[in-house]
Amino acid sequence: MARYSQNSIREVARRNDIVDVVSSYVKLKRNGNSHTGLCPFHKEKTPSFHVSEDKQLYYCFGCGAGGNLFDFIMKIENLDFVDALKFLAQRAGVTLEEEKGAYVPTKEETDAKQRVYEMNVLAARHFVENLRDPSATLAHAYVKKRGLGKDTITRFGIGYAKDDWSDLCDFLKQKGYTEQEIVTAGLAVKNEKGRVYDKFRNRLMFPIINVRGNVVAFGGRALGDDPAKYMNSPETPVFHKGSNVYNLNNAKQYGRKDGLILVEGYMDVASLHQSGIENAIAGLGTAFTPEQATLLKRYAGQIFVCYDGDEAGQNAALKAIDILAEAGNKIKVVRFSGAKDPDEYIAKKGAESFRKCIADAVSAVEFKIMSARNDFDLTDVDGKIAFVTRAANILSKIDSQIEREAYVNRIAAESGISANAILTEINKLIYREGKKTTQNAKYAERREDEQASQAVSTEASGQIATYKAERMLLNVIFFQRKAFELAKEELSGDLFAGVEHRKIYEAMLTYKLENPEADASDFLSYVDEPLKKTVAAILYREYECDSLQAAKDMIKKLKGELMNSKIKQLAKEGKAEEVQALIKKYAERRG
């Protein structure tokens, strides 16, 4: 495992701007000194994810995720530190210099992941062998029925999991993997009695390959009468459902030029490929996620949402559109009729006809308005009003005034309601939305109070004040040289009530003695993993008070509190004389 010098790591940090990097995953809006957007690490509707340009940090007031540039890339790309470092070095064109004794990631972690990848490759090959076997008659019949040619089967590495409880387990055990490892890889299941058996049985198998070309998981289509028609691997050390997209490894090369066609299932992807359409991708069974949307943003100039024609498919499309748009993707929606899904459409009408549907794809707004129109009866006054209200809501979210007006005029003509009335309604909605954004800043502060009360349990509100004050003190000590000098002289770690705060303070002292400049991002690379979130939460804040005075007051207060608790303890033990001495000493100091 390569080790890289501290200088290299700092150079990479200097040459990548966090706002820039985060922007390729999250749509950020500038808000004074900070940039805000929808958090990629938890589901939310109003942005609580903040990125500071000055401090080169990110922090989410919603879920508490926080850290520097490296932490962000590690988390969002699911990489370990070394790979995140390489990723960012490449991005900025920095050549990494190797050095002994620098950062080393835990070997166990890398090894465990590596073994899962190896097992997945072996399993994929094993499934392919199974499909080639003449005895796999059920699988062959299905492949024939779906019209999957040899080339398609090879291209997607399609295979077959036998109708057997231990076919794959036996094979992998023979290759030297333990039952526990096979379970960890999601290829086997352990029941309550401790019995281990193959997860995928009697299924046509589709390996799921990530953009780096690793087999990360499998999807299986049932061939028998299993109630679960489709089954995917569970979450494993190398697979997070919500952050992978099926066939992106193949389709990504077309993404910039032709865009990507987002369909519902891997069978759709396979049959599109069969018809010469190579740029189709699919979610993995579950609802489309923000992580998937940000992943696509990196590869697609345009996304053509092409979900099934039934109501469930159209509703899923509406949701996917919003998630894709929030990640900054350009979207069009493909409409087709006379078939339930793209697979069937192509079988019935051919690839050329499907290509025409792609060319005729409508904008996301158009699609939403169309689907609103379908929901209401426009021959009826109430229906018209309901339709216009829904349409106004859709249009209030468009940024372009010109685009908005074009739709308004059309809707006015259709509904007989004046364009002016519709515009008034839209402006009202926009105003309300703006108000929510300002409230969001207040919400962030409230969140901090909540976190504080959770952290100190329910004992006393005085403790919450202490908790908040300690955090403020740590912030000020880090950023203000004078406050740091003062703390170094006057403040010992055990004055902090919070154990985490104490550890952070001690780490700060050691760090700042060698690195006097207040580089928050660099400090985050320095502290231990469990402290990172808290450090990000503390350093992210801006305090507007006279910081040196605040630090002085705070140190005094902490000392006073420590004294109080010492006195209480001694009093409990009945040591009256010592209590007297302590009070006297404290009074002298104060005076």
The CA-based angle 580-582-584, given to 5 degrees, is 70
Is the Cβ of residue 65 or residue 136 nearer to Zn ion in the bound state?
Answer: 65
Regarding 63 and contact with Zn ion (CB under 5 A), the answer is: yes
d(CA 252, CA 280): 9
Beta-bridge mates of residue 190: 196
- Contacts of 138 by beta carbon, 8 Å cutoff, 6+ apart: 163, 202, 223, 224
Q: Among residues 37, 47, 62, 67, which is the contact residue for Zn ion, using CB under 5 A?
A: 62
The rounded distance, in Å, linking the Cα atoms of 64 and 372 is 37
Closest CB 62 distance from Zn ion, rounded Å? 4
- What's the closest the beta carbon of residue 44 comes to Zn ion, in angstroms? 7
Looking at beta carbons only, is 65 or 139 nearer to Zn ion?
65
Site string for Zn ion, 127-166 (x = CB under 5 A): ----------------------------------------
Backbone phi, psi, residue 526, to 5°: -85, -35
What does the block give as tokens for 306?
Answer: 């092409």
Helix residue ranges per DSSP H, 105-243 = 107-132, 137-145, 150-156, 167-174, 179-184
H-run or E-run covering 511: helix 499-514
Instruction: Write down the least CB distance from residue 43 to Zn ion, Å.
Output: 9
Round to whole Å and give the CA distance between 17 and 53.
8
Stretch that binds Zn ion, among 56-64, 186-194, 210-218, 332-340 (CB under 5 A): 56-64
Which one of 57-65, 86-94, 326-334, 358-366 is the stretch in contact with Zn ion (CB under 5 A)?
57-65
558 with 550: CB under 8 angstroms?
no
> Could you give the count of Cα atoms lying within 13 Å of 438 in the half-sphere of its Cβ?
4
Closest distance to Zn ion from the beta carbon of 521 (Å):
19
Instruction: Round to whole Å and give the CA distance between 389 and 379.
Output: 16
Identify which of residues 62 and 290 has a Cβ nearer to Zn ion in the complex: 62
Residue list 81-120, contact with Zn ion (CB under 5 A): none
Secondary structure element (H or E) that encloses residue 473, with its range: helix 461-479
Q: Closest separation between CB of residue 322 and Zn ion, Å?
A: 18
| Per-position x/- string for 510-549, each x denoting binding to Zn ion as judged by CB under 5 A, each - no binding | ----------------------------------------
Size of the site for Zn ion (CB under 5 A): 7
- Give the residue with the Cβ less far from Zn ion, 42 or 355: 42
Q: CB of residue 329 vs Zn ion: minimum separation in angstroms?
A: 20
CA distances from 400 to 203, 407, 431, 560, 566 (A): 49, 11, 16, 58, 64
**Least Cβ distance, residue 59 to Zn ion (angstroms):** 9
Task: Indicate the pairing of strand 260-263 with strand 280-282.
Answer: parallel
Q: How far is the CB of 38 from Zn ion (least distance, A)?
A: 9
- Of 44 and 278, the one with the shorter C-beta distance to Zn ion is 44
Nearer to Zn ion, 63 or 347 (CB): 63
Q: Which residue in the set 28, 60, 168, 495 belongs to the binding site for Zn ion (CB under 5 A)?
A: 60
Q: Is 187 in the site for Zn ion (CB under 5 A)?
A: no
Neighbours of 186 (CB within 10 A): 24
| DSSP one-letter string for 52-92 | ETTTTEEEETTT--EE-HHHHHHHHHT--HHHHHHHHHHHH
Q: Nearer Cβ to Zn ion, position 316 or 537? A: 537
Q: Which stretch binds Zn ion (CB under 5 A): 63-71, 408-416, 445-453, 560-568?
A: 63-71
Pairwise CA distance, residues 24 & 46, whole Å: 19
* Residue 66 or 342 with smaller CB distance to Zn ion: 66
The answer to whether 134 touches 218, Cβ cutoff 8 Å, is: no
CB of 482 to Zn ion, least distance (A): 34
Longest CA–CA span in the chain (Å) reads 97
Q: Which is nearer to Zn ion, 63 or 351 (CB)?
A: 63
Q: Shortest Cβ distance from residue 508 to Zn ion (Å)?
A: 25
Q: Minimum Å distance from CB 289 to Zn ion? A: 13
* Binding segment (CB under 5 A) for Zn ion, from list 65-73, 254-262, 395-403, 444-452: 65-73
By beta-carbon proximity to Zn ion, the closer residue of 129 and 450 is: 450
Residue number, 62 or 309, with CB nearest to Zn ion: 62
- Cβ atoms 34, 51 nearer than 8 A: yes
Question: Which residues between 16 and 55 bind Zn ion (CB under 5 A)?
Answer: 39, 41-42
Residue 223, number of CB atoms within 10 A of its CB: 19
Range 375-414, binding Zn ion (CB under 5 A): none
Residue 60 or 508: which CB sits closer to Zn ion? 60
First to last CA, the chain: 59
- Examine residue 361 and tell whether it contacts Zn ion (CB under 5 A): no
Q: Can you give the binding site for Zn ion, defined by CB under 5 A?
A: 39, 41-42, 60, 62-63, 65
